[in-house]
Chain A
Amino acid sequence: MRRWLPFDLSRRGFLGAGILAAGGAALSARNAAGQATHDHSTMRAAQQASTAGHAAKQDHLTAHGAMMTVGEVDNARNGFDPTAMLTDWDTGEVTKRSDGRTVRTFEVTGEDKEIEIAPGVMFPAWTYNGRVPGPALRATEGDLLRIVFKNYGSHPHSMHFHGIHSARMDGVPGAGVIDPGEEFVYEFEAKPFGCHLYHCHALPLARHMHKGMYGLFVVDPDPARHPDMADVAKSRLLGTPENANWQEMAMVMNAFDTTFDGENEFYACNTVAHCYAKQPIKVDRNRPVRIYLVNVTEFDPINSFHLHANFFDYFDQGTTLTPTLKTVDLIMQCQAQRGILEFSFRDHEPGLYMFHAHQAEFTELGWVGMFDVVEAVS
């Protein structure tokens, strides 16, 4: 009977049978087969009704309807909150050397940690400071950096910084990859200014990165070194009044392959699928927005950032004070590519404005969020 009613019917086979059925069936066969070619309009109306019903229940989730993960991630158990991560800059401990130079010391630990990457889905991660992405380290151009890395994990790890430094500080095997229980201090000058990243460079590289060992490494420009564009540099320099006017956010585009088959099951910005869709990011429409964005998505060649109903200026790698792309609404980044996005909702009416990867597949697997533009953020 499989021969005339196969379950694994090929589409072509099905259509063939459908045509035969439509051709006029023997008494009862017509009735039974008629069920196969069913009423499109009824179905569509029903679908709309169902979708609308669902949407009505869900207020701000309407934009993505029922197309969303179910439930909430336990941020307390994870020990990190994607919303708090947006503004949680780690500026280290600042001291002055006798010659007046700033020394900035960061403490970072490598830890194994089971984290919840989507409601109810646990991932056996390797982390920096127990969070994925690791702490967003922020320094000023010219600082002397000391990153004290202690490996409490079960595997050899390192911190490889994108930036300029000596070979001995590269964080590759033989130059700062350390075994469990060991400690290493990476020392170098913070340069060039820009939006960078750091990640583990132990082998196998893809596994160590995909497990969660990466984070933002931002070097703010020193206004004194850029007299021509001191105002721009000041707006980038954390702690200045010019900078305080900006709404700055740290975003790391990442993904998780929970089945370890080389394809990701979850995509996100700052780890938790759909986190900013379920909890939109509050934005004051009277203040400009600056996003430090880095792509560490493993297994896919590129990721992207698309902003709805708005355009932005883009600073590729963040190493320039003038935009490398002006007035765009979509940028793409290959793995480890990063940049700074600047935009404003000043002329917009308040409301929810979506942002997401414009690979529709990534969007539907979790990399989508909303800006909740309001008159003033309390």
Chain B
Amino acid sequence: MNERVEHDRLRTAVPVSGRGPFSFLWLLLPLAVLGLAVWWLIATNPLASFGNGAPPVENITVERTILDHNGIGLLVRAGGSEPMKIAQVQVDAGYWHFEQEPSGPIARGDTAWIRIPFPWIVGEGHTVTFVTSTGATFEHAIPVAIATPVATTSTLVSQAILGAFVGILPVAVGLMFYPALRGAGPATMDFLLAMTIGLLGFLLVDTFEDAFEFAGGSAALFQGPTMVILAAVASFMLLTAFGRREGRPTGLALATYIAIGIGLHNLGEGLAIGAAFAAGAAGLGTFLVLGFTLHNITEGIGIAAPILKVRPPLWSFAGLTLLAGGPAVLGMWIGSLAYAPQWSALALAIGAGAILQVIIEVGAFLAGRHDKGAAGLLTLPVLSGIGIGVAFMYLTAMLVKI
């Protein structure tokens, strides 16, 4: 009998006091506990009992490499458990003078420039080894030494032209198929939309792969792979929510989203190209540039597919082209001027989320064209469209794979 009373009181205790005049106390209690815990941790240092004389965990990531007439410049980020000191620097297994800016120990998460007056050799590889005060070593490879291009107006213009060539031109060429495709029947429309899904599917995998690769090269504290997934999911949800605030996107709106998705992918590609220039690793051939252009023409056709029946105004074509291709130019500039792997990974992850959103929306649009819903997707034009979209991207990617 007593027990039951006890239970009843417990059951009502929280709501009753929650409504009382001192309800704010229930906010203070958890904060007070947290405060006490922090005080205890700092005051008593229970971690001391784990101290076994082991040196602190150290980590160094190189984010930028500059090769110029002064030698080698490296932007390093410290990821150790405690501030760490770069005591000595080897280049190709020999100690070299270096200057650090700012000097002194590098705090966790901070960066510093290391400048080494090393006479690097054009076209050959070099390895820089950092030796910390505990004697731990961290290697950074420069696979092919090339002078880092200096960002001048002329190089920026050159990059813009190259970016336009591989980003804007193919989208424009793809969109030029618009008049020819206007008269397409329902089966052709299905095929083209499905092909768009196929091409976006390829880009999704490709973008994720590159995002994870950049993530792998970034400092551990950025938690690269987790960041990529979270950023991709966030951008997917934001774009989907934004796109659906007035119902499912169709027509020009859908084309715009496709252009945004492809544009973000191209931004990531531009970043990588620019970064490759900055790192001195870029060697472009005509064949590669043309192959890549061909590879990207499909993107234009994909953007055109949802607007074949809506006759948008002419300026919208220019807008779509710039939206999808323009970021390649922007990416090249950003990549060549300031580059860090974690930002490239982030940009690519956002692009992957955007591409996923477009795949879903194009799929929904395609399904909505038939009364049969999702079952209507299992038709010959749709399946062959997806297959050919992926295959075309895959095969043209071969042209540009070294």
Q: Mark B253-279, 1 if CB is under 8 A from A, else 0.
A: 000000000000000110011001101
B316 at the interface (CB under 8 A from A): no
How far, in whole Å, are A67 and B287 apart by their CA atoms in the complex? 42
Interface residues of A in 1-51 (CB under 8 A from B): 1-11, 13-21, 23-29, 31-33, 35-36, 38, 40, 42-43, 46-51
A120 vs B158: C-alpha distance in the bound complex, in angstroms?
Answer: 45
- CA A43 to CA B291, docked complex, whole Å: 33
Instruction: Check B285–A1 contact: CB distance below 8 A.
Output: no
Q: Which of A207-215, A231-239, A244-252, A361-369 contacts B (4 or more CB under 8 A)?
A: A361-369
Which A residues touch B291, using CB under 8 A? 4
Question: Which residues of chain B are within 8 angstroms of A48 by Cβ–Cβ distance?
Answer: 119
Q: Is the CB of A9 within 8 A of B281?
A: yes
CB contacts under 8 Å to B, within A167-198, are none
Contact A7 B95 (CB under 8 A): no
B125 near A: Cβ within 8 Å?
Answer: yes
Pairwise interchain contact A32-B162, C-beta atoms closer than 8 A: yes
CA distance A9 to B142 in the complex (A): 10
Which residues does chain A contribute within 8 Å of B132, judged by CB atoms?
121
A4 B400 Cβ-Cβ under 8 A: yes
B268: nearest chain-A partner, CB-CB: A1
Shortest beta-carbon distance, B299 to chain A, in Å?
A: 14
Inter-chain contacts of A67 with B (CB < 8 A): 94-97
**Contacts A1-B210, A20-B285, A33-B283 given; does A69 touch B88 at CB 8 Å:** yes
Which residues of A have CB within 8 Å of B209?
2
Q: Do residues B147 and A121 form an inter-chain contact, with CB atoms below 8 A?
A: no
Contact status of A35 and B135, CB under 8 A, knowing A8-B143, A24-B286, A118-B88: no
From B117, B269, B277, A32 is in contact (CB under 8 Å) with B277
Does residue A94 face the partner (Cβ distance < 8 Å to B)? no
Please state if A66 and B277 are interface contacts (CB–CB under 8 Å). Answer: no
Residues A25 and B286 in contact, CB atoms below 8 Å apart: yes
Assembly CA distance A28 to B269 (angstroms): 17
Q: How large is the interface on A (under 10, 10 to 19, 20 to 34, 35 or more residues)?
A: 35 or more
Residues on A with C-beta less than 8 A from B23 are none
Beta-carbon contact of A5 and B117 below 8 Å: no
Shortest Cβ distance from A16 into chain B, in angstroms? 7
Determine how close the nearest CB of chain A comes to the CB of B144; give it in whole angstroms.
5
Q: Are B161 and A31 in contact (CB under 8 A)?
A: yes
* Shortest Cβ gap from A273 to chain B (Å): 7
Total contacts A-B at CB 8 Å? 214
Residue B71 interfacial (CB < 8 Å): yes
Q: Which residue of A lies closest to B100 (CB)?
A: A70
Which residue on B lies nearest to A257, using beta carbons? B135
Q: Are B290 and A26 in contact (CB under 8 A)?
A: yes
Asked whether any CB of chain A lies closer than 8 Å to the CB of B401, the reply is yes
Picked from A29, A49, A68, A259, the residue with its CB within 8 Å of the CB of B136 is A259
Tell me if B85 is interfacial: C-beta within 8 Å of chain A: yes
A68-B97 Cα distance, complex, nearest whole Å: 6
Residues on A with C-beta less than 8 A from B98 are 70
- Chain A residue numbers with a CB within 8 Å of B158 are 28, 31-32
Among A15, A19, A259, the residue within 8 A (CB) of B137 is: A259
Task: Pick the contact of A122: B135, B276, B279 (CB < 8 A).
Answer: B135
Q: Is B165 positioned at the interface, with any CB of A under 8 Å from its CB?
A: yes
Find chain B residues with CB under 8 A from A74 CB: none
Whether a CB of chain B sits under 8 angstroms from the CB of A274 is yes
Interface centre among B155, B269, B286, B290 (most CB of A within 10 A): B286
Q: How far is the CB of B141 from chain A (nearest CB, A)?
A: 9
With contacts A50-B70, A66-B96 taken as known, whether A120 is within 8 angstroms of B88 at the C-beta atoms is yes
- Max count, chain A CB within 10 A of own CB: residue among B71, B135, B161, B287: B135
* Residue pair A66, B117 in contact (C-beta under 8 Å): yes
> A residues bordering B, Cβ < 8 Å?
1-11, 13-21, 23-29, 31-33, 35-36, 38, 40, 42-43, 46-51, 54, 66-71, 118-123, 256, 258-259, 265, 273-274, 361, 363-366
Residue ranges of B at the interface with A (Cβ–Cβ < 8 Å): 68-71, 85, 87-90, 92-98, 116-120, 122-123, 125, 131-137, 143-144, 146-147, 149, 154-155, 158-159, 161-162, 164-165, 209-210, 213, 217, 268-269, 272-273, 276-277, 279-292, 397, 400-402
A47-B120, A122-B133, A265-B131 given; name 18 further pairs at CB < 8 Å.
Answer: A2-B272, A5-B281, A14-B143, A17-B284, A20-B288, A28-B164, A29-B162, A31-B158, A35-B277, A38-B147, A50-B117, A50-B119, A66-B117, A258-B134, A258-B136, A259-B135, A259-B137, A274-B95
